[in-house]
Structure 1
Amino acid sequence: MGFNLFTEPWLPVVCLDGSRQEIGLAEALSNAGAYRRLAGTTPTMTAALHRVLLALAHRVYQPLNAARWAELWQAQADGGLPQAELANYRDEYGERFELFHPHTPFFQCPALDNAPATTAKLVAYRATGSNRTLFDHTTADQRPLLQPAEAARWLVTTQAYDTSGTKQPYRTERSAEGGLGNRFGCVVVEGATLHETLLLNMQFYRPEVELPVRTTAQDRPVWEATQPPDPEPDARPPLGWTDLLTWPSRRILLSTSDKAGATLVDGVVLTPGTRMEGNLVDLEAMAAFRRPWLKGNKQGNFKPVSLDELRGVWRHSQELLLSSDPRWWNTWRGRMRATGPLPAQEPQRQRPAALDHIAELVEDGLIAEDTVYTLRIFGQQLGDQGGDTYAWYEEAVPAPVALLRAESARVGYIIGYAVSLASDLGAGLKLMERQYSADFHSELTKDQEKKLTDLEIWYWPRLTAPFATFLRELGEAVRHATDETEPAERWGTAVVELADKAAWQWLEGAPRRDRSLLTASAHFDDFQRAKYQLHRIFRGGLARYSAPDQGDA
């Protein structure tokens, strides 16, 4: 029995009415306007499936310029993306999407001759080897059976997000770095439909003229390779954008068995694959990057924005949303305090390529400036040794088009002050709780210092919604050329009130008497003084940027 991913249902989607179903790749492209979004079992699966579908869309439609992009964008109203190109591509490469093809199985290495291991190695929430999980108790001798659609989804996800560490060797090499997706928060610009989402994340693409940058004429997704991969692990730079989107970090081969006339996946060979050579900041377009401040008022190397266990990714709104134009981040020169950067100081940064594209499309009248898209950021955190999955993350940040097109560096400073106030207040709450504990216990160990406090757990998640409101209001202020500091002032009031509420709950939430009560009150008073001082600094900083002719030099 065959299972061709072009036609068989395997991609999990949310329909416009909120219901869920599975569709094939051809349906996902030709009728994308009928679906709201892709939604996998885990955030990592959702991200990986987006990348595969985007690689296919680039290869089928190859939007070379704004005119071609506009045709594809408007095709939603005309019945969907063009069928002719899709049919031509399927005629040429349709066989490569057969999951169980004897010679070219999709995203696999048929030359692997290892004995298949349990399918639990493929499914991220299954417990295998060092990948311990809390609720799953699969043992090494158990071989859960997977439906072809489920196996295909986990195959794609594993190629992008497999853990690092020791793997089953093909011959000798056992060690493998984690899948490419573990290195950054994968950013997807989400529109009202899957059709819009695909187009918003598509770059101008024509490999023979090296579009996008660092894409060569040899670029192709993994399924277009003339030969399946050699089972021996290797290392190389990407051939281009679609090669990177379908990076083969593992050599994988599924094994099957027939049960009651149905083909099921009963095992998997999973060995080290291809290591990527090159600087990620020069290659990855679905990530944001920043150069962090170091000691001595210097900036370090570019680091990708990733997601945190507790603190929202909205803290990186400068890097996610604002222009990467050097005239923005060069404004720090001459503005340094003796002790280091100003609280709002912007690092050199690079936002996801799709946002540069969207900003340009407004000029062509294809996207309205009052539009607010959603950035969905997906990520995975590995354990300390990299061999197990600690957490999956999915967060959303509003992306007002007006902010994507903002030309004044003043906007960046205002967002910087807003983020700094939240960070400083959070640090103050943590310090209050830590110092109180230190007065009654010996010095904290490093592990205890890293452990999240109750106040942090209460405070940080509550900031996401008011910061989203701030970004939307800031976008409106930019669009209407009104005072951009007013939304920041409202944000400042909201975050100070949340911090104050957290401090009061800490003081009154536990029974204390005598020395413990006096000590807690003293640290509470220290925090109150720090809070007022931080709010004063915040308002003073905003005052520098309250008029259009200030802060732009």
Structure 2
Amino acid sequence: MDQPHQRATRDSRRSYGALMENHSFNLVDEAWVPAVKGGRPMPVSLLDALVRAHEIDGLATASPLETVAVLRQVLLPVYLEACGVPDGEDDWERRWQAGQPEDGVVERYLAGLRGRFDLFGDRPFGQVAGLRTAKDEDKPVSLLVAATATGNNVPLFTPRTEANPPPLTPAEAARAMLAAQCWDTAGIKSGAADDPQMKAGKTTGNPTGPCGALGVVVPIGRNLFETLLLNSPIVRQPPSDDAPHWRRPAMTGAWKNRGALGLLDLLTWQSRRIRLIPERNADGETVVRRVVLAAGDRLQLIPRDVEPHTAWRAVDKPRAGHASTVPVRHPSGRHAWRGLTPLLATVADPDTTFSSSILLTQLGDVDVADLPLQVLTVGVAYGNQSAVVEDVIADAIPLPLAALTAGDVRAVIEMVVEQAEGLRRAGNRLDDDLRRANGGDPVPWDKGLRLGDALIHDLNRVVRRLLAGLQREPDRYEEAERTWRTVAYEVALKAAEPAMAAVSPTAFLGREDGKQKKTYRASLAEVWYQASVRKILGVEPRPHLTTERKTYA
């Protein structure tokens, strides 16, 4: 006799088939991949994105979460399955020199699996056919979009409410679904009717999508093919049972707590069970307004030797049964260059707690000539037990290839990052001292914009120009270092001028702090700050910029 959840599955598939009639959107042929071609953003099909990857500038980054999801969950695994995972440096370099996929390989692969890429087919791509909850509930499609309101996740600036979800085109719905598989919030999820682990219509203990635990680092090339290859890790012995989700048995609402079978399984990890519900709008076009979203597979452990898109930090005292390394996540409100130290840790060093990503590490072992490498960093800051999205962190910076191997260029960059942080702390202390001298209290570290934090923003342009300069001419690292010290010194002194001009006359007489038994004076604060700046940068007072700034910065 059929179990209740088996009967529910069979009945839901009957109704699902009727709903899907006259709806089709095949990702192989339809334009949905957010690309940039000839400097102009335009969507392209999956087939065009891969076959003509060398003619496409890259992926559009208007929505960085979706950009990473499309690359990681579809483009990269299709390329790796069709062309094979590089099995060594020679294989990788051969592909790099070819500059495009082999003729016909991607076409034959997609032709053989074309039915698996229909968003609304009998086996809908990335979804569970006939997925339903015990009460046949569905939710607004905004549940898939981190920047829209749904439930407790209400962004500060949004014109929409959960009762007014945006109608998504099939292309938009596909990208949003992929992003949800990567970044969805944690917490309670609806239980699928055929999920034996469901309790009271819910599943609890769901983690975020797998990318939510990472500080994602994506190397970017001059065109989409270079980007695909730069994101292709060398795997010398791929597991025989590793495969993307579209080549495995059709999913049901039941989920597992398991480890990744390999790279392809990890890239296409189905952390949620999803069903998009299509309908016709007033113009007769297919749109998606409603969705069924339930719990998906839970990743037991992020595999350090497989996960390609994050740097790692060693845990000082790992607990029994826990990993000894954890992914390095991107903090909110910080430019990507401030987190370069772990990204540059491509050479094993017992004195550092960081190690770079697999992809950046292998770039130190292959020949990519004079590639102007860009690095895209993307992450999500969650709040309230990871059940809401507080911030989406995204940045892109130039990264000199010479910095990925031990040497002078790396040393200069690491020095710049360290000194910039030192200047930030000195600026924040000056801000605190001036506020005390004025009779007030320092601004809490997580409230408002302090002088040192504003200084970092002023230095952002300087550091980016330095990185771009070292990318073009790494041999001029000594000149770059001298110029940095000169320019950073002038910027640091200039940043303090408005704060000093704003203090009251009494601040120069000083105010005694009874608790600390210390007198705070504006004049002393200024002297201390200038001395700190000189010590951090190793410079003497200079009334004017030298010509070094003109020749390099």
What band does the TM-score fall into relative to the shorter chain? 0.7 to 0.9
Pick closer, same or farther for the CA change 1:476–1:4 going to 2, 3 Å: closer
Q: Is residue 2:228 matched to residue 1:198?
A: yes
Mapped to 1, the partners of 2:223 and 2:458 lie a distance apart of: 29
Q: Is residue 2:421 matched to residue 1:396?
A: no
TM-score normalised by the chain length of structure 2: 0.81
Mapped to 2, the partners of 1:372 and 1:34 lie a distance apart of: 17
Mapped to 1, the partners of 2:221 and 2:446 lie a distance apart of: 38
Q: Which residue of 1 aligns with 2:121?
A: 101
- The residue type paired with residue 193 of structure 1 is N
On the 8 A contact 1:402/1:476 being kept in 2, the answer is: no
Mapped to 2, the partners of 1:281 and 1:488 lie a distance apart of: 35
The one of 258, 261, 266 aligned to 2:284: 261
SS at 1:355's partner residue?
Answer: helix
Q: Which residue of 2 aligns with 1:341?
A: none
SS at 1:12's partner residue?
Answer: strand
Q: Which residue of 1 aligns with 2:3?
A: none
SS at 1:449's partner residue?
Answer: coil
The one of 445, 457, 465 aligned to 1:461: 457
Mapped to 2, the partners of 1:151 and 1:32 lie a distance apart of: 23
Q: Which residue of 2 aligns with 1:59?
A: 81
Q: Which residue of 1 aligns with 2:498?
A: 505
- The residue type paired with residue 109 of structure 1 is V
Structure 1 segment 47-446 matched on structure 2, within 5 A:
47-52=68-73, 53-62=75-84, 63-76=86-99, 80-102=100-122, 104-114=123-133, 115-170=137-192, 171-172=198-199, 173-205=203-235, 210-211=237-238, 216-228=239-251, 230-259=252-281, 260-291=283-314, 301-324=324-347, 326=348, 329-330=349-350, 332=351, 347-362=352-367, 367-368=368-369, 370-404=370-404, 406-408=405-407, 412-438=410-436
Pick closer, same or farther for the CA change 1:411–1:23 going to 2, 3 Å: closer
Mapped to 2, the partners of 1:116 and 1:517 lie a distance apart of: 67
Structure 2, unaligned runs of 5 or more = 1-22, 193-197, 318-322, 511-520, 541-553
SS at 1:3's partner residue?
Answer: coil
Q: Which residue of 2 aligns with 1:26?
A: 47
Q: Which string of whole-angstrom CA distances, capped at 9 and with x for unpartnered residues, describes residues 493-517 of structure 1?
A: 2222222211112212x36232477
Deviation for aligned residue 1:378: 1.5
Q: Which residue of 2 aligns with 1:470?
A: 466
Pick closer, same or farther for the CA change 1:407–1:443 going to 2, 3 Å: closer
On the 8 A contact 1:174/1:271 being kept in 2, the answer is: no
Deviation for aligned residue 1:147: 0.9
Q: Which string of whole-angstrom CA distances, capped at 9 and with x for unpartnered residues, describes residues 258-285 of structure 1?
A: 2343222121111221211124533311
Mapped to 1, the partners of 2:472 and 2:154 lie a distance apart of: 47
Identity rate, percent: 28
Q: Which string of whole-angstrom CA distances, capped at 9 and with x for unpartnered residues, describes residues 75-128 of structure 1?
A: 44xxx52342223212332111111123x2111122521221111111222111
Pick closer, same or farther for the CA change 1:523–1:152 going to 2, 3 Å: same
- The residue type paired with residue 315 of structure 1 is R
- The residue type paired with residue 25 of structure 2 is F
SS at 2:101's partner residue?
Answer: coil
- The residue type paired with residue 428 of structure 2 is K
Q: Which residue of 2 aligns with 1:297?
A: none
On the 8 A contact 1:305/1:316 being kept in 2, the answer is: no
Mapped to 1, the partners of 2:505 and 2:425 lie a distance apart of: 26
SS at 2:151's partner residue?
Answer: coil
Deviation for aligned residue 1:134: 2.2
Deviation for aligned residue 1:139: 3.4
Deviation for aligned residue 1:320: 1.6
Q: Which residue of 1 aligns with 2:13?
A: none
Q: Which string of whole-angstrom CA distances, capped at 9 and with x for unpartnered residues, describes residues 52-90 of structure 1?
A: 2111111111133445444543444xxx52342223212
Mapped to 2, the partners of 1:266 and 1:474 lie a distance apart of: 49
Q: Which string of whole-angstrom CA distances, capped at 9 and with x for unpartnered residues, describes residues 229-252 of structure 1?
A: x31332111111111111111111
Mapped to 1, the partners of 2:32 and 2:383 lie a distance apart of: 30
Mapped to 1, the partners of 2:118 and 2:176 lie a distance apart of: 15
Mapped to 2, the partners of 1:403 and 1:421 lie a distance apart of: 17
On the 8 A contact 1:253/1:268 being kept in 2, the answer is: yes
Mapped to 1, the partners of 2:324 and 2:473 lie a distance apart of: 33
TM-score normalised by the chain length of structure 1: 0.81
Q: Is residue 2:506 matched to residue 1:514?
A: yes
- Deviates most, 59-68 or 119-128: 59-68
Q: Which string of whole-angstrom CA distances, capped at 9 and with x for unpartnered residues, describes residues 462-496 of structure 1?
A: 32332233345556776x4x7x4442232222222
Which structure has the larger Rg?
Answer: 2
Mapped to 1, the partners of 2:244 and 2:439 lie a distance apart of: 58
Mapped to 2, the partners of 1:293 and 1:427 lie a distance apart of: 25
Mapped to 2, the partners of 1:437 and 1:19 lie a distance apart of: 49
Mapped to 1, the partners of 2:183 and 2:302 lie a distance apart of: 19
Q: Which residue of 2 aligns with 1:37?
A: 58
On the 8 A contact 2:333/2:393 being kept in 1, the answer is: no
Mapped to 2, the partners of 1:441 and 1:167 lie a distance apart of: 51
Deviation for aligned residue 1:15: 1.0
SS at 2:139's partner residue?
Answer: coil
Structure 1, unaligned runs of 5 or more = 295-299, 333-346, 539-553
On the 8 A contact 1:109/1:231 being kept in 2, the answer is: yes
